[in-house]
Amino acid sequence: MAEFVDAAQIHVKAGNGGAGAVSFRREAHVDRGGPDGGDGGKGGDVVLVVDPQLASLIVFRDQPFRRAGDGAHGQGKKMHGAGGRDQVVGVPLGTVVRDFDGTLIADLAETGSKIVIARGGRGGAGNARFLSNRRRAPGFGEQGEVGEEFWFNLELKLKADVCLIGEPNVGKSSLIANISRARPKIADYAFTTLVPNLGVVRPPDATEYIVADIPGLIEGASEGRGLGHAFLRHVERAVALALVVPADLEEVVMHECVNQLLHELTNYQESLGHRPRVLVGTRLDLVDDEEQARERMSRVAEDFSMPLVGVVSNLDRQGMSSVVYGFAKIVESARASAPATVEKMIYRPRPNFEVNVTRTGDASFVVEGRDALHAVGLSDLGQADALAIVHTRLERMGVFRMLRRLGCREGDSVRIGSFEFTFEED
């Protein structure tokens, strides 16, 4: 069985744009053929797509790097370079993408969700693009842009209708095995369940739903104790919560167990305290008086204002039918009360097109921004025509105006990427 991994990192690198060609038409009997350099191709994007066949993030644990193809360079005869191949990366349903600082980038919570997580660089213009009445033989083209490159944290939040919540070794794994085709590890010691288990329940003439078995919660789980704290994130998307408590306990102990479970849930996320919930009793085969056990469970359920859907014996499957249909009823009710349309929580990283100017010293300034880098990305800045184009582009962006506002004076140094020049007033 493949290992379940619900947290990983990914490094994405979009393709670089191809460079524009510098070429001149030279054919027999063609006078003054002129520039005919083609444009470079756009770099490929890195796209995250929900793949329903994936159940965990294990594929990113040992191989986190994903790179798209580079755009091809332009050629003569105005032949444009081919675009780079997109890198489509499959992720499980419920994957959350965050920056290393915790900023939410995307929440892929719906089937078919996808996001361009890194954009390919734009291809450079060939010298044919710079032909004009004043510039008859441009000997320069544009360099291709560098594709975006990021590290992201990936988290997986399972999307189940009912989550089984309980202390270790109370029969949650046996319960999900009895009502679905899930086959979790079952043993008679605490913390048998090390990863969440999912099972699909298809009751006749009732709503189909998905049940998740979450590793046992102990006191202090929301603060990092035990194993269950690492998987509390999987409870966040549940439609309803099923609190599992052994029926062979004294009523006071049952009450304490339910109270502790609710405390851990609300301490982790306050909204979980308002989630629809039910109570399930297990270990019915270990009680002396089944009727008294059900009465005790009913009183505890009433104290916490939640319905008791059943008291079961995982040994002989007694009471399973009431639990199966009880879960179906609360899931159907919760779905009916949910909003008619659910907004897909998909975000896109904002490309850094904005131009910023910062002062780094008494006489030095740095200009940042994707458009600013593109403005100076010409292949031969030693040509006067190329420098004139750079000057016009920067002036239109307001770079010179921002430099003057920051106190830039004639003779000061200005750097844009690898391009550095001395500021001079016209």
* Bridge partner list, 361: 364
The phi, psi pair for 365, rounded to 5°, reads: -140, 150
pLDDT digits (tens, 9 = 90+) for 319-373: 899 999 999 999 988 888 765 444 445 555 555 567 899 999 888 999 998 889 9
CA–CA gap between residue 271 and residue 168 (Å, rounded): 24
Query: pTM of the prediction?
Result: 0.76
CA–CA gap between residue 256 and residue 244 (Å, rounded): 13
Q: What is the mean pLDDT of the chain?
A: 85
The DSSP H or E segment spanning 154 is strand 149-156
Which pLDDT value is given to residue 352? 56
Task: State the sign of the Cα–Cα–Cα–Cα dihedral 79, 84, 85, 86.
Answer: negative
Question: Could you count the other beta carbons within 10 Å of the beta carbon of residue 102?
Answer: 7
CA–CA gap between residue 345 and residue 109 (Å, rounded): 7
pLDDT digits (tens, 9 = 90+) for 186-200: 544 444 455 677 788
pLDDT digits (tens, 9 = 90+) for 164-174: 988 888 888 88
pLDDT band at 147 (very low <50, low <70, confident <90, very high): very high
CA–CA gap between residue 280 and residue 172 (Å, rounded): 10
- The string of DSSP letters for 376-394 reads T-BS-TTSHHHHHHHHHHH
